[in-house]
Structure formats: C-alpha cells, structure tokens
Amino acid sequence: MHSAYIFMLLALLSFAAMGVFHKLADVFHCHPLHLSIFTMAFAALFATINVVLFNPNPLITIPGKVILIAIPFGVFTAAAFWFFQRGLRFGKIATSWLVINLSAAIPTVLSILVYREPVNGRKVLVLLLVLISLLLLWWDRSRDENKGAEMGKPAISPSTSEGD
C-alpha cells in the first residue's frame, strides 16, 4: 500500500475520532474555549515532538515563512473548533460535521480562481454536489424550523449550561 493511502486513512480516522470526542465533550458540557485550547495545545505538543524526534536540525530547517503562515492558521483553527463546539449546542452533530467537511469546497474554488488550477469534469461535478448538499441542508433546516413553529415551540433549543 502506498504511504499516501495510509496517511489518507489516518486522516479519515482522525476526523471521525475528532467528531466523536467533540460530541462526547458536548454531552459532558465541557467549556468550548477550554476544549479548543486543550486541542490546540496537544496538537502543538505533538507537532513539536514530531519535529524534534524526526528532524536532525529542527530549528535550522524551519523557514521563517512557515512560522508566519502557521501562526495565523493555528489561530483560525482554534477559533473554528471553538465556534464549532459552541454551535453544537444549537444544532445537530451530523449537520455540523457535514458543513465542516463541505467547507473544503471554499479552498478548492479559491485555488481555481486565484492559482488558475485547471478545471476538469470531476472538479465541476464535486463542486455541484457540494452546492446541492448545502441547498438540501438549508431545505432540511427550514423544514425543521417550520415544523417547530407549527407546533408552537422552537425547533432548536440550546443547552441550559450557564457560563459558556
């Protein structure tokens, strides 16, 4: 098996585990900010250990450009996890993870527009399917809200944890 497939499988399993742990954290009413800080701190520790153990000159080979790019991306990732965990209390876990996975379409569109990547039939089909998925999500969500309004109660009710 080619190593790229191993990494792809590990990434898939990691995303699945991350979803399970996020739901578990929501069930135990973990504070979203604390969860995001812990997640990012663990990722930073794991990456640092990986660099130190598997790179003979870890500080010499890291270009400054990488650090300048990594810092804002890390901040945005931490913010995304925090917003995601806060949003779980107002919606469905399956919908939340689907939107996160569909958000990969944004960099795809930007890479086509900014870097002039070639567009083939497969990319067009995938982007159309993403668009259809988002429209179906919107339609399902509006139906849930309409059902709740007809029954005289809100379709979405946040958890009753104070201080979040």
The domain ranges of the chain are 1-92, 104-153
Q: 147: which 2 tokens?
A: 């059902």
Residue 96's CB is within 10 A of a number of other CB atoms, namely 19
Q: Which of 99, 86, 84 is nearest to 140 (CA)?
A: 99
- What digits encode the pLDDT tens for the residues 46-68? 888 887 888 777 666 777 888 88
CA distance 35 to 13: 20
Q: Which of 4, 39, 37, 5 is nearest to 19 (CA)?
A: 39
Residue 94 identity (one-letter amino acid): A
Q: Which of 50, 51, 137 is nearest to 95 (CA)?
A: 137
What pLDDT is recorded for position 1? 64
> If you average pLDDT over residues 79-96, what whole number do you get?
74
Q: Considering the chain, what percentage of its residues have pLDDT values greater than 70? A: 86
Residues 6+ apart with CB under 8 A from 33: 82
> If you average pLDDT over residues 22-50, what whole number do you get?
83
CA distance 134 to 44: 33
